[in-house]
Chains A and B, each alone.
Chain A
Amino acid sequence: METSALPQQLAEIVDDFQALSEPDRLQLLLEFSRGLPPLPERLTDHPELLEQVVECQSPLFLTLDIADDAEKSVSLFFSAPQEAPTTRGFAGVLREGLDGLPAAQILAVPDDVPERLGLTRAITPLRMRGMAAMLGRIKRKIRESGAA
C-alpha cells in the first residue's frame, strides 16, 4: 500500500491496520474508539463551539484550533457518544493521525485515506463515508480559517 504521501504519524496507523487480519482491524478500531480523549473543559462547557458532522450515522462533533506559530499547527477535538464506537474509532484515527500537524500538511492528506485502512468490507462503504466526511470537514475548517 502506498503511504509515502501521508504524514508519518498517519502512515504508521495505516500500516498498522494493513498488517492485520480483518477481525483484528475491527479490534484496532475499537481501541482507537476507547482511546479518543474527552473534550477539554472549555469545550464541554461550550458545545456551540463544536460543529456536527451530519454525514456520520451517530452524532459526531468536532472543532479545531490553529496555533499562532510559523507552521500553523492544528489541534483537533472530537466528541461522540460511547454508544457509537465505530464513529468514535474513526475520530480516534484522525486525531492520532493528524493532531499537531501543520495546517498545510493536513490539507495535503489524500481524501481516500479512510479507504486505505482496509475496513471497507467489514464496515461497509456506507459507514466509511462518515470518516471521509470528518476529514472533509476538518479541511474545510482549516481553509475557512485562512491558515493555509
Chain B
Amino acid sequence: MSVATDSNEKFAQYAHPERLVSTQWLADNLGTPGLVIVESDEDVLLYETGHIEGAVKVDWHTDLNDDVTRDYVDGEGFARLMSAKGISRDSTIVIYGDKSNWWAAYALWVFSLFGHEDVRLLDGGRDKWIAEGRSLTTDVPRPETTQYPVVERDDAPIRAYLTDVLGHFGNPLIDVRSADEYTGARTHMPAYPEEGALRGGHIPSAVSVPWARAAADDGTFRTRGELDAIYRGEAGLNEGDDVVAYCRIGERSSHTWFVLQHLLGFENVRNYDGSWTEWGNVVRVPIVKGSEPGVAPVPARQR
C-alpha cells in the first residue's frame, strides 16, 4: 500500500513530486503503516549516534555492493536485504542521509535498479531534520522479516557501462565532479586519495556541472526554476535527450541522476557508476584535460 504523497507546493513544480517528502511530512507520517524509513550515510557509524524514529540503516558499501565483484548485489541479495529491513515490495520507502542526501540518492538509485516502485527522498536529508530540532533516537528497530520477491536487477534503463559510454558519444554527458577533477589537476576528490586513477581529466564532450549545485545551502534540492537554469540553460540539455552522468564511483552522479530523472523529468538518464575510477584507468580510452569539454569522438559500435 502506497502512502499518500506530500502535496508541498515546491515539490509540485517538479516533474515527479511524488519522489520527495518534506521533513514536516515525514514527522506527520511517522509510524504510518506501509512506510519504511531508511537512513543511508557516508559515515558507517552515523546512524548509531542517533536516527529518525523507526528508521532502518542501509550501508552503501556493505549492504548494496557485492563484496567480490565490482557490482551491486543480485536479486537474491537484494531480496534478503529488503526482507531483513522489514521492507515489502509494496512498501513506501523514504530514504535520507548525510551530506545533502548524496548517499541516500545512491541507495535510491540502486533500489531503482530492482524496480522498487515507491521510493522517495527526504528533501534536505539528515542535516535538515536535525537543524529543525526534530528528535533522534538510538533505538534500533527490529522489524519482522518480509517475503520480498527475488527481482532480477534491470540495469539497462538507468545504468551505463563503459561500452555504453563509448557508444554514447554525440549525446550529452554530464561530469558532476569538482572542477579540479574535471580539468585533470587532480585524479581524486579532495580528501579521497585512495579512490584515485592513473589519468586525470574528463570524458570527451562531457560538460561540468558539480553535483552539489543542485542543492541549496540547507541541503534541500534547488527549485524547479533554478534547476532548469542550470541543466537546461547552462548545461544545454534539451527535452528528449539521452543523458549519461558520471563522477568517481557513481555516488555523486546518482544525486544528479535523481535531479534529471525525477525532478526535471528527463526520461533517458543513465548513471555511469564505473565513472572516473574506471575510465581514468582504462587503457586507450579518449580523455580530455583542461576546462573545455572537448570534441566527442566517433561513437564505438555498441555491443
Partner-B contacts on A (CB < 8 A): 26-27, 29-30, 33, 54-59, 82-87, 89, 121-124, 126-127, 129
Contact = CB atoms under 8 A, between A and B. Distances in A.
Given A54-B190, A55-B194, 12 more contacts: A26-B44, A26-B45, A27-B48, A29-B45, A84-B43, A84-B46, A85-B48, A86-B44, A86-B45, A86-B46, A87-B43, A123-B44
A126 B195 contact: yes
B45 A83 contact: no
Contact of B43 (A27, A54, A86, A121): A86
B194 A82 contact: no
B49 to A, nearest CB: 5
Contact of B191 (A30, A56, A85, A86): A56
A124 B45 contact: no
A82 B193 CA distance: 23
Contacts of A122: 44, 62
A58 B190 CA distance: 11
Interface centre among B45, B62, B193, B195 (most CB of A within 10 A): B45
A58 B195 CA distance: 15
Interface of B: 42-46, 48-49, 61-62, 98, 190-195
Given A124-B61, A124-B62, A126-B61, A85 B45 contact: yes
A54 B191 contact: yes
19 contacts: A27-B48, A30-B48, A30-B49, A33-B49, A55-B194, A57-B42, A57-B43, A82-B49, A83-B43, A83-B46, A84-B43, A85-B45, A85-B49, A86-B43, A86-B44, A124-B44, A124-B62, A126-B61, A127-B61
A57 B192 contact: yes
A117 B40 CA distance: 24
A34 to B, nearest CB: 8
A85 B193 contact: no
Contacts of A56: 191
B43 A30 contact: no
Contacts of A83: 43, 46, 98
